[in-house]
Each structure stands twice: as structure tokens, then as C-alpha cells.
Chains A and B, each alone.
Chain A
Amino acid sequence: MQKLLRFLKPYTRYIVLGPFFKLLEAVFELIVPVVMARIIDIGIANRDTRYIWHMSIVLVILGICGLGFALTCQYFASKCAFAYGTDLRSALFRHINTLSRTELDRLGTSTLINRITNDVTSSQQGVNMAIRLGTRAPFLVIGAIVMTLLIDWQLSLIFLIIAPILGVVLYCVLTRTIPMYTRNQQKLDVIARHTGESLDGVRVIRAFSKQQQETERFAQECADLEKSMIAAGRISAVLNPATFLIMNLGIATVLWFGGLQIDAGRLSQGDLTAFTNYMTQILLAGVQLANLIQILTKAQASSLRVADVLETHSTMQGGSAQVTDSREAICFDHVSFTYAGAPHPALENISFTLQKGQTLGIIGGTGSGKSTLAQLIMRGYDATEGTIRVFGQDVKSFDLDALNRAIGYVPQKALLFTGTIEENLRWADENAPKENLRRALEIAQASDFVDKLQYGMQTRLVQGGRNLSGGQKQRLTIARALSGSPEMLVLDDSMSALDYATDAALREQLHTRCQGMTKVVISQRATSLRDADLILVMEDGKCVGQGTHEELLKTCEVYHEIYATQNT
């Protein structure tokens, strides 16, 4: 948990005050056996009824004070833990938003979600319990030892022998279980991922009647998890009995040596009772400590997973430049790109220049690198070789937010978010005037169907826009990109679900109503790109032809072939 300590820093006062009140409570608790010893030694010995009654009132007062202190501590503990958890969760979410695609690809989203939800909660629980119990138990132990020292220092040496033995047991259990808990968490990640997959793929699973196999695979994973949880549990099961054993053997030792002391006239019977009471108290505290340690072990494993994400830093740093007006829109100079860990480059030696307001078409086979090229323009990834200039400046010099705002992006997979249509449209620009939204809907050919909806733009989309058809979703994602009036529009094969008529109308509107906007259009359809000022023909990561439609028809065999296949 050390790595996350800075998140606790703002709440130092709670961390100090919580345990302080717990300390007070523990002190009061420690006085109880003393009072009881006095009842026995003085009250009973002198047969003093009044004294016994007085002391019993003292006991009640001690209890009331203890209650007050304990509640104060619980309050501070819950305050601190939840403030810490909330901060940590926010920080984690913020941090994930700063990571570049390279890191996100590597980590995978389902584990990130698990870490935000599960692991933070577990770490938070650790803090809560650490404040509540982590101080009480050691205080009781130390306090009890101090009290026994005052009664008889020789006899209390026994505690000093027991404490290290207990420490060793704790240490052994701890070091063995932490890696096991981490492994369990990883297995849970897998289960979460597979559940997600079987939900996404429910139609395919049923179409192929794979329910049985899915269920079996799941049962297998659950059994696997069970095994590794039992393995971790087996070790932590040692903790409680071991504590019990060590402490009670300690009591036995105390009784024996206490007897010797009494025999030598150095100890009273009441003192021995107090001594064994303290020992019992230490035993209870020890058991609590053991339980706390189990919680902390889990919290530690979770905290490490959270810290692991927080320590992953974006390999991509933004500059400070803002987007300014420039004639040149995009310029690739001998650009190559290889995905992290991939054996072959996804793009090789690409060079071209596009002016402001022009349209760039990218066409090519499946997996030829079209989307990757678009990602490089928007700095989704950094080129491994060569330089990319956008809006007249090196793409790396821009402030990342400024760059993203200047580019309207329509992803291949139409992804919308829970909320109303209007809220979705406002993604690009929160304060966009209503006219802009309307205009965007019109250009994207979405105004017709949106108007037909019962609540129009106020219609709520269920997760990911599940209540819309594929084509409707695509048109909304296009409108979303347009509503921010970007300098450049990137359409990553985002018209595949549109019929030809809609596709044509959309292109016509883009052409006439977005004159100054630079457009990058990835498409499988040659007709969609026919009017582009520059078309790149991609094949296996290489650009095998560039030019206008007419030029390519003459010079580029691949393009010619594509065009021919679509017009028969």
C-alpha cells in the first residue's frame, strides 16, 4: 500500500485522530482489569461493600467514555477510508484517460474496469479496518505489556518472548498469501472478461448451440478459481489457531512463573488474575490483528494492482501548440509504423500532402492499414519512422486536447453512450448552439429519423445505443463529430451500414455545407471516394497508388481492379 500513501496524505488528521481516540478507548479498556483487581484485592479482602459499588460505577463510566471514543474513531475511520477511496478512484479514472492507446491496448479494458470498481473498494476497506483495528490491537498489546511491566517486570518478560514468535508466524503467512491473492484477482479478471464476451456474443453462441460448452468452460474456470482460493485460504487458516496456541501457551507459562513469584512473595493473587486477564486481552487483540492482517493482505494485493496502473505512464506526451489556420492540412513524410510487439510494420514508407479543405480518400483491402493511417493523423499512435505534420505543424507539437478538438472522428464501430441524443451530440462541444446540432443532424442524414422519435433529440439511448439500428447509430456518430464544427473530419469506414442513397446524400451535404473542412474518408466503396482530391490505395501497409480517381484509373492496377469489381 506504500505506493498509494500519497492519497492518504490529505487525511492525515483523520489518520492521527482516529487512532488517537482508539488509543484512549484502549487505555480505558486496559484500566478495567485494574479496577477489577482492586475489587478483588481491596473490596473482597476488606469486605468493603461500598468500595465494590464505587468501583462498579467507575467501570460503567469507563464503558461510557470508551463508547464515545470508539464511535469518534469509527467516524474518522469511515471518513478517511471513503475520502481516500473516492480520491483514488477518481485519480485512477483520470489516469486511465491520460494513457495512450498503446498502453490501453496492452492493459485491456476489462481489467481496468475491475481495478476501478473492485480493487479500489478492497484497498479502501483496508484503510478503514487499519484505522479501526490496526491501532486498537497493537495498542492493547503494547498497553497490556506496559501494565504487566508495572505489576511485575520479570513475569512480563514472557510477553517479550511471545511477541516475536507471533511476528514470525504473521510474516510467514503474509509473504505467502499476497502473491496468491494477486493470482486470484487475475483469475477473476479472466472470468469478468469471459462473462462480457459471452454477453456480447450471445447470438453467435446460440446460433452455434455453444451454450453447453460456454457453461462448461465457465464451470472449469470457476473450479480453477476455487482451487486457488482454497490454496490461499489453507495458509491463512493457520493464522487464527496459531495465534490462539501461542497466546495460551503464554498464559500457561505465566501461570507457572506467576506461581513461583507468589511463592517467593513477590506477587499477589489479584496481580496474577490481572496478569492472566491482560494475557487474554492480548490474545483477543492478537486474533483481531490476525483477521486485520488477512484483510490487509487482500487490500495490499488490490492496491498493488491499482498502483500498477497509476505507474503506467503514457508513452505519448502532448506539446503546447494550438491549432492555427494553415494552408497545409496533412503532410506525411516517409512514415512507417509498427504496433508494439508486432513483428511486421502496419504501415511502410507513406508520403503525401493534403491542403486545407480538400478530401483525402483511403481505400484498400481488409487489414491493409487504412485505419492505422487515420489513427496516425489524429495521433492515436506515434509514427515509428518519418514525420507527420497536421495543420502545418509537427503533430507532436500540439496540445493533445486542442488536436482532438480540431479533428472530428467517426470510429469504425458506431459507439454511442448512455444519455439523450442531444447529450451524445454535445460530446465534441458542450456549449454548441442548438443550430449546430440540428445542422450536424441534417448533414449526417439523421434529422429525419431523430424527428420521428417520440422525444426527438431528448430520446434516451440505452447502453451503446442498443435501441437503434446499425445505420442509425452510424449517422449519429457522424453528426456527433460534425457538431463540434471541427477543422478536419475523419470518417473511418463509417458509412458501411448506410444504404447507397443515404451515403450519396451525406457526401453531397458534406461537400456543399462543409467547404472549409478537411475530410479524410476511409471507404470500401470506390464510388464514395470518386470526388476526393487525393486517394491513397493501400495494400499490406504500403501505399500502392495515389492520385485522383481519374489518374488512378489509368495508373493504378489495384485501384482499377477495385473499381471494376464494384461496377459490374
Chain B
Amino acid sequence: MNKTIRRIMRYANPYRKYLLLTVVLSFIGVSLSLLVPIFIGKAVDLAVPLTVPLSTNTRIDLAAILQVVIELSVVVVVSALFQWLQGLCINRLTFGTVKDLRSDLEAKLQTMPISYIDGNARGDLIARVVPDIEILSDGLLQGFAQLFSGLVTIVGTLAFMLTINIKIALLVVVLTPLSFVVAAQITKASHNAFVWQSELRGELSGLTEELVGGVNVVKAFAYEDRAIGRFEEINRKLGAAGQKATFFSSMSNPSTRFVNGLIYAAVGTFGALGAIGAMPWIGVMSVGNLASFLAYANQYTKPFNEISGVVTELQNALACAGRLFALIEAEPQSPEPADAAALTDVRGSITARDVSFSYTPDRKLIEHLELDIKPGQKVAIVGPTGCGKTTFINLLMRFYDVTGGSISVDGRDIREVTRNSLRGSFGMVLQDTILISGTIRDNIRMGKPDATDEEIIAAAKAAHAHSFIKRLPDRYDTVIGEDGGSLSQGQKQLLCISRIMLCLPPMLILDEATSSIDTRTELKIQDAFTTLMKGRTSFIVAHRLSTIRDADIILVMNNGSIIEQGRHEELLAKNGFYARLYNSQFAD
């Protein structure tokens, strides 16, 4: 818990001038507000009828009271002003801290290994960037606000109380820890309920993300009732856990208030006894003194009440902050060596030496893979579904690192060059079409942000995307909605191909790049691809054997390993796995 708080403070550090201002402002604002009871006490003391005979007109000193009232008013106005300024500073402090934290979290996601992103539920990661930070932000806002004014209030009231009567003040000091003990006990008891609640909250978010994200499939299967059933089961549990956590932690406020009530009673009793001199050791006290002492006792305990009042929020906030820092401090992808050079003037020879790889240690996938590809060669990867084609591409692009052996481009181990330059050397079109939100234009020029409109249109034309783009309401400026919005799978794929046509990288990876495109369009694109592939090393994953017949090397994969390599004719002559695959298509 302390560690989490320290980490939060590290993020607050850039805003320390607001922190400092908050401290100063709250010191002045709160101190001034603490003068209020003194003025009240003074006024009450002044309101004692003078012991003059009833005949006189002015029995109490009204002028003196007026003086006190005016002083009081001035103090109040100034104090309110400082409190307001303090509020503004806390706003800046909290929202600035939260902004940095959120930006950092996102930046961190960009440096995490792909395996981390593949391995964590999407809903859970999003939950950290949005609701978790919101809860933390609420907690900080409350925390900062209460902390400083609380501290100043406690110290200040104590000081004033000491000046009025040391004995009773000490009595208060002795009784105070009671409040802490009670609150701490309750907090401890409710902690488990909070952990339970946050786990269930995560579970529910994951389920919601899945079922609402896939609501169209849910409806198509008339699965609604069962979806609702599953949802409600977790929801009910969450409700029960939340109720428990909230009730337990909300016990702390009445409890501290009870303890404070006891303190108040003690002050009143001993103060009164002191006033009548029944307890000589207490010392002498006026009624006015008692009045302001009581007011201080009230004020003194206020911070305890307030802090215990927001204890639910604070506990929640710290739990969420823990989740945030777990991500921020998670192991990022292996850093690039200091001398990593950019891969430039790529010719396109690729070698793999004894490469092995597995996603999980218990399930070996690729073993002893050997490969020699000369610049400009066209490499086709074929094999049944799930044979490891996509994995191979994950390795080439260094989305995953090999677990053994090495892969080199132009004789340089890909782990020794910068990731960006390696990936920039490949033009990749995947089966899963991914568009970013933004306009069609933004999407096409992803790999070449400074492309001119002419270049963009030329690329779109080469990818045969121009004809559908120009029918869109705002043509190249059409904004694409969530998940590609109303574009069809095929149209999205055409846009992805346009990207490649624009930036013309030295090597190509086409993973089922045309699977959702109709064959007539595909044939036209194929022409463009053929031109593009000239002199460029290219890897093609496809099921349509006809499109890869003229590859320089065909890699036939099965169960993670390359079982055959060679040209189409050679492989057919071998009459092995490839021949069977090919014939099954032909026999169709």
C-alpha cells in the first residue's frame, strides 16, 4: 500500500508547484478558519451581562461585539478565498497526475511484447486505462483535499486547544488514537471484500466486453436468455460483494464519529468541571473558553470523520492504482541493444538457422527451421490451417522472438537491428484487416505520412480501392467508424493493400491478403502485386494454390515445421504432402 502511494507521488512530482501551493494555501485557509471559534468564544464571553444595576441602558458591550463580528467576517472572507484557490490547485494536481499516468499507460502498451497483449483480456486492459484511472482520480481528488486541510486542521486545533487548556487538550490527544484503531480494524476487515469485489468487477467487464462486442452473434443464436443468465449470475455476485465491501467500510465513519462524540463529551464534562473548579488539576476555564474549546474539539475530529468518510473511495483507488502500476512496471519487450543500427538499403536475403519457437513452453511449435532465401525471391507458404504459417510471420516481423536459433536479413541478425527499421522493411497485409479510426486518407498513408494526394490516389487505384472510395459520401475524407464501420471485410482489405502500394517497402508479407476480396478484383490486384513483387523478396500465405504456383520457393508447413521445400514442379514430382494438397484442389 505504501509502495503504491509512493508511486503515485512520483507521478505527482511534475505538479509539485501545485502541491506546494496546495500546502501553503490550505495552511493559510485552514488556519484562518480555525480562528473562527476564537472569535465566537470572544463574542460569547462579551455577551455576559455586565454586573451593573438594571437601570443602565447598555448592559453588554455591543461595540466590542461588533468589533469581533467584523474581524470574524474579514477572516472568513479571506479564508474562503484561500480555500477556493486551494481547490483549483488540487484540481490541477490531480488531473495532471492522472493525465500523465494515463498517457504513460498507453505508451507502455505500445512497448509491451505482443505476447502480453495477446495473452491479456482486451476488456481488462481497457479497464485499466479508463475506469481504474477514473476511480484513482476520484480517490486522489478526495485524498489530496482531505489530507492537507486535515493535517493543518489537526495541528492547528491542537495548538489552539493547548493554549486554552493543556490538560484537556492532552485528554483529547490521548483519546484520539481510539479513532484510528477503530478505523484501522474496520478497514482491515473490509479489505478482503474489496479484493473480491474488484476481481468480480474485472470478470464482469470481460464478459460484458465479449457478449456486447459479439451481440450480433448472440442474437443470431437466440442466445440472449443464456447470455443474460451468465451476466446476471456474475452481476449478482458482484452486487453481494460490493454491498459487503461498502457496508463494512462505511461502518468506519459512524464509528469514528462515535469515538469523536465520546471525545466531545469528555471535553464538555471535564471543561465544565474545570469551570466550576470541581477538579482543581484542570485549571480555570471561562464559559467562553469552554465554548471555543468545544468548537475546536468538533473541528479537531472533523478530519478524522472526513477521512473515514472517504475510506471506501481511498481503498478502491489504491486497489485500482495497484492494477495500474502492475502494468506500468510490467516487463516491456526486450530492449534494443545500444548499438542497434537501422536496417537500410535492404536487398532482401533472409536466412533462418536452427530456429525453434513455442508460445507456451509445454507446447513446441517450430523446431530446427532452416531457410535460405535470396534477394527478390517469391516465397509461398502453404499448409493446412493451424500449421504455423502465421507464427512464422510473427517471427519474421519480430512480433515474437525466436526461442532458439536466429533469423537474419541481409546477413544481420534481426535482433541486432532496430525493430522499427526491420518492420518498416516489410510491407504486410494480413487476413485480419485492421483499420485505425480516422479518414480513409489517414489509413492509406499510415506508412508514409507525407504522401501527396496524387500518390494516395495512385496507390488506391493500384489496389483497386479507388472505385469504391469515390462512391463514399466524403470520398478520401470519409471517416471510418468503430471497427471499420460500414465497410465490408473485402473493402477493408483493399484499404490495407493500398497502404502497401503507397509505401512500397523492400520486402512483402501477404498473409491471406486477398481472402475476402472477390476473385475478379483479386485477379486485377494480383497483376499489381506481380509488378510490386518484382525484385522484392516476398512471402505469401494463401490457400489458393493457383496464385502461388510460380513461386521461387514453396515452403510446405505442417504441425509447425517445414516438411517440404522447393519449386512447384519439384514438389509435385516428389509426390508428397504438397502433391496431395494440390491434387485435392484439382480433384475438386
Contacts and interface: CB of A to CB of B under 8 A. Distances in A.
Interface string A184-221: 00001001111111111111111111110111001100
Interface string B29-48: 00001001001100110111
Given A78-B243, A415-B214, A405 B222 contact: yes
A259 B235 contact: no
Contacts of A196: 122, 126
A561 interface: yes
A365 interface: yes
B424 A209 contact: yes
Contact of A74 (B40, B251, B264): B251
A280 B122 contact: no
B236 interface: yes
B340 interface: no
Nearest to B494: A366
Nearest to B274: A44
A279 to B, nearest CB: 9
Given A39-B269, A109-B212, A427-B221, A237 B84 contact: yes
Contact of B294 (A234, A277, A464, A566): A277
Q: Which of B211, B431, B436, B546 has the most CB of A within 10 A?
A: B436
A540 B389 CA distance: 34
A280 B436 CA distance: 57
A451 interface: no
A320 interface: no
B550 interface: no
Given A74-B250, A199-B117, A497-B512, A237 B87 contact: yes
Given A208-B423, A468-B386, A251 B72 contact: yes
Interface string B517-528: 111111100000
Given A191-B130, A203-B434, A463 B122 contact: yes
Measured as residues with beta carbon below 8 angstroms from the partner, the interface class of chain A is 35 or more
A30 B323 CA distance: 44
A43 interface: yes
Contacts of B40: 251, 255, 276
Given A67-B255, A470-B431, A117 B217 contact: no
B125 A195 contact: yes
B376 interface: no
B454 to A, nearest CB: 21
Interface stretch (A2-10, A51-59, A387-395, A543-551): A51-59
B272 A113 contact: no
B344 interface: no
Would you call the interface of chain B mostly helix, strand, loop, or mixed?
helix
A412 B268 contact: no
Contacts of A526: 519
A207 B272 contact: no
Contacts of B434: 200-201, 203-204
Contact of B49 (A56, A110, A262): A262
A526 B522 CA distance: 13
Given A70-B254, A201-B436, A464-B210, A195 B106 contact: yes
A208 B444 CA distance: 11
A142 interface: no
Interface in B341-393: 384-387, 390
Contacts of B261: 32, 59, 62-63, 66
Interface in A69-83: 70-71, 74-75, 77-79, 81-83
A129 to B, nearest CB: 10
A365 B84 contact: no
Contacts of B581: 499, 501
Nearest to B542: A499
A208 B123 CA distance: 25
Given A244-B79, A470-B385, 15 more contacts: A44-B276, A47-B276, A56-B268, A74-B247, A97-B215, A205-B110, A229-B137, A245-B76, A256-B69, A265-B59, A404-B221, A409-B221, A449-B386, A471-B385, A565-B523
25 contacts: A44-B275, A44-B276, A59-B265, A67-B255, A85-B239, A90-B232, A97-B228, A195-B129, A198-B109, A198-B110, A204-B436, A204-B496, A207-B423, A233-B87, A237-B84, A240-B83, A248-B80, A259-B43, A343-B473, A401-B224, A411-B217, A466-B118, A474-B385, A497-B543, A502-B385
Chain A to chain B: the 5 pairs with minimum beta-carbon distance, closest first? A471-B385, A366-B490, A237-B87, A70-B254, A86-B239
